[in-house]
Amino acid sequence: MDKPRYQRILLKLSGEALSGERGYGIDSNILNQYAAEIKNVVQAGVQVAIVIGGGNIFRGKDVEKTGIDRVQGDHMGMMATIINGIAIQASLEKIGLPSRLLSAVRVEAICEPYIQRRAVRHLEKNRVIIFGAGTGNPFFTTDSAASLRANEIGADVVLKGTKVDGVYTADPAKDPTATRYTHISFDEVIAKELNVMDMTAFTLCRENNLPIIVFDMNRPGNLRRIVEGEDGVGTLIS
């Protein structure tokens, strides 16, 4: 292929996506599929960083009804992202792709602590890096972690891999007339109140002119098509 459009990407994956059809836990088939997709773009010369959610295991914001404090719940959610990160790392290394799991909270027996300069150095050595434990702080989503880390490592784009193929005028599951945007501005997303990311994450990208692409990660080849610069895959927000 020609030189990729994006040299360094931040791939945001939801924890729920890893659960596949079951809706919970980790589906090995999805894990292997994602690892193959990531290897495909790394072999094309793209540097890849990943932020993974933990919703397939635990969601911190949903715990208040159980009596668990929100801060403790978010800490539990951070641990869930580390579990998912270990699973992704194992899948990548199984197919010969060197990777490093970096955690925003210290868990030295399992993974490296996050240090910005170290993360960039890993990328320069063509290692895939996986950011675990979100930002390391309660009340911040993994979308916010993705935006923050993308800016810190100088990523060219945030790629939000989901189960849908982009951003729509309305919920396509509820409105059959909903149409997909191929490109939309940050300001239009805010004006139309479209749900792309939480506002903290979205604003961080907007203020730093960091484009976001929302796309269907489950369709084989989509990730490669995006980094190659194929237009019309997902929705570009810039």
The pLDDT value recorded for residue 1 is: 57
Residue 62 CA to residue 134 CA, distance in Å, equals: 16
pLDDT tens, 34-44? 999 999 999 99
pLDDT tens, 174-206? 898 999 999 999 999 999 999 899 999 999 999
Residue type, 191: A
Entry pTM: 0.95
Query: Tokens at residue 87, please?
Result: 């699973």
Confidence of residue 163 (pLDDT cuts 50, 70, 90): confident
Residue 97 CA to residue 229 CA, distance in Å, equals: 23
Residue 7 CA to residue 156 CA, distance in Å, equals: 7
The pLDDT value recorded for residue 126 is: 96
pLDDT over 60 (residue 31): yes
Query: Tokens at residue 114, please?
Result: 């996050």
Q: Are 10 and 128 in contact (CB under 8 A)?
A: no
- Closest listed residue to residue 182, CA positions, set 232, 230, 217: 232
What number of other Cβ atoms are within 10 A of residue 166's Cβ? 23
Q: Are 131 and 114 in contact (CB under 8 A)?
A: yes
Ordered DSSP codes for 90-108:
HHHHHTT--EEEEESS--T
Residue 129 CA to residue 190 CA, distance in Å, equals: 31
Burial of 113 (0-12, 13-18, 19+ CB in 10 A): middle
Mean pLDDT of 125-140: 97
Q: Domains in the chain, start-ordered, CATH in brackets?
A: 8-237 (3.40.1160.10)
* Segments in 95-168 forming alpha helices (H): 116-124, 142-153
